[in-house]
Structure 1
Amino acid sequence: MNFSDKVVWITGASSGIGKALAIELSQQNAKLILSSRDLNGLTLVKKECKTPEKVTIIQLDLANYETFSEKVESAIAAFGTIDILVNNGGISQRSLVKDTDILVDKRIMDVNYLGTVALTKAILPYFTEHKKGHFVVTTSIVGKIGTPLRSSYAASKHALHGFFDSLRAEHHKDNIAVTLICPGFVNTNVSINALTGDGSPQQKMDLATQNGIEPERFAKLMAKAIQQQKEEAYIGGFKEKLGVYVKRFFPKVLSIMIRKLSVT
């Protein structure tokens, strides 16, 4: 598969991984539908794309499920079809379990899990009717390994793996693919925007995030995984990827390692 004239809908496209992926796929001659809450940010991303005339903007808030049927209709109308939905939008967290208000847990699950599921369900009938489609989901290495300060974030990403593994099995017969992309540390604003225990943004960059893979490099690797229709792809540093395999084969060892991580 190549992306030339493929119609790709990307959520969370105004910054970070979503922005980098949009620019990368534009370089590969895809037709793009870009969504997020930030209309100004989307407009700037569109201008950076190779062919802005092949980019449509649809403002979307993942927490507003009731609007998704209309959003899907608008997305299909933009280019007459949709080939790939990249569920990339989401928010992160930096707070201890004991310090996290339950409404923060709810907010993270509403956006990261339920918003993604709701948008997926809104477009699923179109994919099944046409016997083709590809769901790409940005989860996280933390979707495989729970770590300190990210309890709700990890829960939301673990939930995505369960949901989309089930969807993949149910709709294999409909020629619908599912690719779960698991980033490690990527140098974006994700930690700056991460919610703290009271729901306010952290407003500072984590050192590990700052030292993470550059989003442009990440986007190239992500695009390759999508092309290959991989079921799961781990994209990040050696330590993050190693953790996935230690978890699988030596879970107690990983638990000891995780306990030693800073929780301050």
Structure 2
Amino acid sequence: MDYSGKVAWITGASSGIGAALARELAARGAHVVLSGRDAARLAEVASACGETLILPFDVRDEAALAEATAKAIAWKGGVDIAFANAGISQRSRALNTSMQVYRDIIEVDLIAQIAFTQGLIGHMVQRGSGALGFISSIAGKVGVPMRTAYCAAKFGLAGYADALRGELSQTGVSVHTIYPGSVATNVSRNALTAAGEKRGKSDPAIDNGIPADVAARQMLDEIAAGTREIIVAEGGEKAMGELRRTPDALFDQVANMVANGYMEKLEAAE
């Protein structure tokens, strides 16, 4: 994939991986659409990205999402690449965690990212092209203590992406699931505690993690190469992700099912 001239829309673009993706995409000639809740921080990111479209909104607000989707598509005549990146992490034992924390994390990290994607897939299928990038996590491959809500959401996002990849396999729209390990961002500081408050401090593993710009370059290189499952991690985290890597042959098997009329046969039986 050549990113030059493409329109790329990123949720959670005000910091961390989202901001790094925006800068790297702009450096590769893409037109970037930036979304997040903080318009001022989005404007800071935009200042390093050339011509951009800033669409601030809360990803949980489906009416605002629908309005933003229409604007993103109209800006340059279409959206070529979309990154479902917005998310909140967690640092609390399941034994102590309130159900509201589970609801909040799953709403942002899973439901809102599905809604974001559902608003775009019809547009992409109609055009016969597009790429969808889902930012899951190594914690979406391996259950990690103190992150039960986060793991549930990120495993769920990966499952949605894998099923969607099969459904879209004959349409020209590619689906890429990205599994970062420790990347140097504010993810730990913004993580929710058992009571749903911001943790306010980071972890050494995150502080010493992969620089966000390095992670973004790898993600974009692998999407350009057509990699369907992208593990962005080092050391033990990389080893865990690789142990749970889905074989390409399995993705191909699902795509072949779709090519051979699997969905049509199910629909005909209803």
Tell me the TM-score normalised to structure 2 length: 0.88
Q: How far 1:65 sits from its partner (Å)?
A: 2.1
- Offset of residue 247 of structure 1: 5.0
Q: What is the alpha-carbon root mean square deviation over aligned residues? A: 1.3
Q: Which residue of 1 aligns with 2:138?
A: 141
Query: For the Cα contact (< 8 Å) 1:178–1:229, is it kept in 2?
Result: no
Q: In 2, Cα distance between the equivalents of 1:17 and 1:248?
A: 22
From 80, 96, 121, give the equivalent of 1:83.
80
Q: Where does the alignment leave 5 or more consecutive residues of structure 2 unmatched?
A: 247-270
Equivalent position of 2:192 in the other structure: 195
Give the aligned residue type for 1:10.
Answer: I
Whether contact under 8 Å (1:35, 1:42) holds in the other structure is yes
Moved over 6 A (4+): none
Flag the 1:247–1:222 CA change in 2: closer, same or farther, 3 A.
Answer: closer
Q: 1:64 aligns to what?
A: 61
CA contact (8 A) 2:4 2:30 kept: yes
SS at match of 1:69: helix
How far apart in 1 are the matches of 2:127 and 2:66? 17
Displacement after TM superposition at 1:123 (Å)? 1.1
Note the alpha carbon deviations across 1:53-72, whole angstroms, 9 max, x for none. Answer: x2110012111123222111
> Relative to 1, partners in 2 of residues 1:47 and 1:160: Cα closer, same or farther, differing over 3 Å?
same
Query: Where does 1:140-159 land on structure 2 (aligned, <5 Å)?
Result: 140-159=137-156
- 1:32 aligned counterpart, secondary structure: strand
Q: Are the structure 2 counterparts of residues 63 and 172 from structure 1 closer, same or farther at C-alpha, using a change threshold of 3 Å? A: same
CA distance in 2: counterparts of 1:178 and 1:32, whole angstroms: 19
Find the counterpart in structure 2 of residue 100 from structure 1.
97
- Residue 200 of structure 2 aligns to a residue in which SS? coil
* Deviations 1:83-131 (CA, angstroms, capped at 9, x unpaired): 0111111110000001110011000000000000011111111111111
Q: Give the match for residue 14 of structure 1.
A: 14
Q: 1:247 to 1:178 in 2, by over 3 A?
A: closer
Amino acid of the residue matched to residue 52 of structure 2?
Answer: V
| Separation of aligned partners in 1, 2:145 and 2:192 | 14
Give 1:231's aligned residue: 228
Deviation at 1:246, TM superposition (A): 3.9
- State the match for 1:44 in structure 2: 44
CA shift, 1:229, in A, is 2.3
Distance in 2, Cα, partners of 1:2 & 1:197: 44
Is the contact between residue 231 and residue 242 of structure 2 (CA under 8 Å) also seen in structure 1?
no
CA distance in 1, matches of 2:215, 2:57: 24
Aligned to 2:24: 24
Partner of 2:261: none
- Normalised by the length of structure 1, the TM-score is 0.90
Corresponding pairs, count:
246
Q: 2:118 aligns with which of 118, 121, 131?
A: 121
Matched residue, 2:254: none
Q: Distance in 2 between matches of 1:244 and 1:25?
A: 25
| Corresponding letter in the other structure for 1:223 | L
